[in-house]
């Protein structure tokens, strides 16, 4: 499939305000006992009165759990299938706008965004307004080829790793160091129409065979909407895949449906695929209690 690329300038051409879009409040109040800080704790006001991101710093140590993102390239894959039309597309836009703005603060190259069906790819996205502008040009259609898109991206990345390792054995000690680990975020509403399981298993086995670090590749599935069949499918990917196939655990899943973009949710989404502690025990395991 040929791809067309939207440059930084193309996406931002008509953008004059980088203020993030409004975030949808949950219909269920967030109780203090839940220890989930609201979106207003994540976004305060800067000197110009615009929303400004505050890192979720641990009070006990002063550490920012999202700092590990600086070591990674962040790649977001968006489900633009027909079932995403309407409110789900708006919800995905809102979620991605917030994630993109925050992730880009830790990835100096900005983040890359791919779609399951649309051939366009946006590289180096660094703010929420660019994401909104990009989504205005995409119309959801077609089926849900999650496995196909993941396979293309994973194969391309792992081939680079394997090539760099071969160079390293020939004396180029810096070959592998030049390739950053990668953090995939897949925003989808449900079950794929192809077979991402085989793709993920094959990729994990190649990583295991090459003895690459366990944190080299992570895949986070973010579910928008609340279709139970899709929830069960994604949960099985997270909980059962590595044990059933005896492979490394590179998958996490997080539901996102009309909830505030809290600090805890941000940490879970952005780190769950690359930090097994967050995957297994939740965001609070790396945040202040």
Q: How far apart are CA 286 and CA 278, in angstroms?
A: 7
Average pLDDT over residues 229-255: 90
Structural domains of the chain, with CATH: 69-286 (3.40.50.410)
Report the pLDDT value the prediction gives residue 48, as an integer from 0 to 100: 42
- 56: pLDDT strictly greater than 70: no
Percentage of residues in the chain having pLDDT higher than 70: 75
Q: Name the least confident of 94-103, 106-115, 280-289.
A: 280-289
What pLDDT score was predicted for residue 7?
41
Mean pLDDT of 238-246: 91
Q: Which of 86-95, 242-251, 252-261 has the lowest mean pLDDT?
A: 252-261
The tokens for 244 are 């059933």
Tens-digit pLDDT profile for residues 142-186: 999 999 999 999 999 999 999 999 999 898 888 898 999 999 999
**pLDDT in the model for residue 282:** 67
More confident residue, 142 or 101: 142
User: Comparing 1-15, 46-60, 76-90, which segment has the lowest mean pLDDT?
Assistant: 1-15
The residue among 226 and 30 whose pLDDT is bigger is 226
pLDDT of residue 134: 87
SS3 224: strand
What gap in Å lies between CA 53 and CA 240, rounded to an integer?
35
pLDDT value of residue 62? 54
pLDDT at 288: 56
What is the average pLDDT across 58-78? 81
Q: What percent of the chain is predicted at pLDDT more than 90?
A: 37
Which residue from 207, 213, 254, 210 is spatially nearest to 71, judged by alpha carbons?
213
- Convert the pLDDT of each residue in 4-22 to its tens digit: 444 444 433 332 333 333 3
**What is the structure's pLDDT at 104?**
80
The residue among 254 and 47 whose pLDDT is bigger is 254
Question: What's residue 51's pLDDT?
Answer: 38
DSSP letter for each residue of 106-135:
H-TT-EEEEESS---EEEEE-SHHHHHHHH
The b/e string for 21-54 (b: 16+ C-beta within 10 A; e otherwise) is bebbeeeeebeeeeebbebeebbeeeeeeebebe
Task: Report how far residue 46's alpha carbon sits from residue 40's, in angstroms, rounded to the nearest whole number.
Answer: 13
């Amino acid at each position: 499939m040929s791809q067309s690329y939207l440059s930084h300038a193309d996406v931002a051409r008509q953008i004059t305000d980088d203020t993030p879009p409004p975030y949808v409040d949950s219909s269920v109040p967030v109780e203090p006992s839940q220890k989930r800080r609201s979106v207003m704790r994540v976004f305060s006001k800067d000197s110009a009165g615009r929303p400004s991101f505050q890192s979720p710093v641990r009070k006990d140590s002063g550490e920012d759990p999202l700092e590990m993102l600086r070591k990674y390239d962040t790649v977001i894959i968006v489900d633009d299938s027909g079932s995403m039309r309407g409110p789900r597309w708006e919800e995905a836009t809102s979620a991605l706008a917030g994630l993109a703005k925050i992730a880009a603060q830790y990835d100096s190259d900005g983040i890359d965004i791919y779609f399951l069906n649309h051939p366009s790819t946006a590289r180096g996205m660094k703010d929420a307004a660019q994401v909104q502008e990009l989504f205005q040009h995409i119309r959801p259609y077609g089926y849900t080829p999650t496995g196909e898109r993941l396979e293309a991206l994973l194969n391309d990345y792992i081939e680079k790793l394997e090539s760099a390792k071969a160079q390293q054995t020939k004396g180029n000690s810096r070959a592998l160091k030049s390739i950053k680990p990668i953090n995939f975020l897949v925003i989808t509403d449900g079950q794929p129409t192809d077979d991402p399981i085989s793709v993920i298993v094959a990729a994990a086995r190649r990583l295991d065979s090459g003895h690459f670090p366990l944190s080299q590749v992570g895949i986070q599935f973010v579910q928008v909407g609340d279709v139970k069949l899709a929830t069960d499918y994604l949960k099985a990917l997270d909980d059962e895949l590595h044990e059933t196939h005896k492979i490394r655990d590179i998958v996490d899943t997080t539901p996102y449906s009309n909830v505030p973009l809290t600090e805890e949710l941000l940490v879970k989404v952005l780190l769950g695929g690359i930090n097994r502690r967050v995957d297994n025990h939740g965001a609070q395991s790396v945040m202040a209690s």
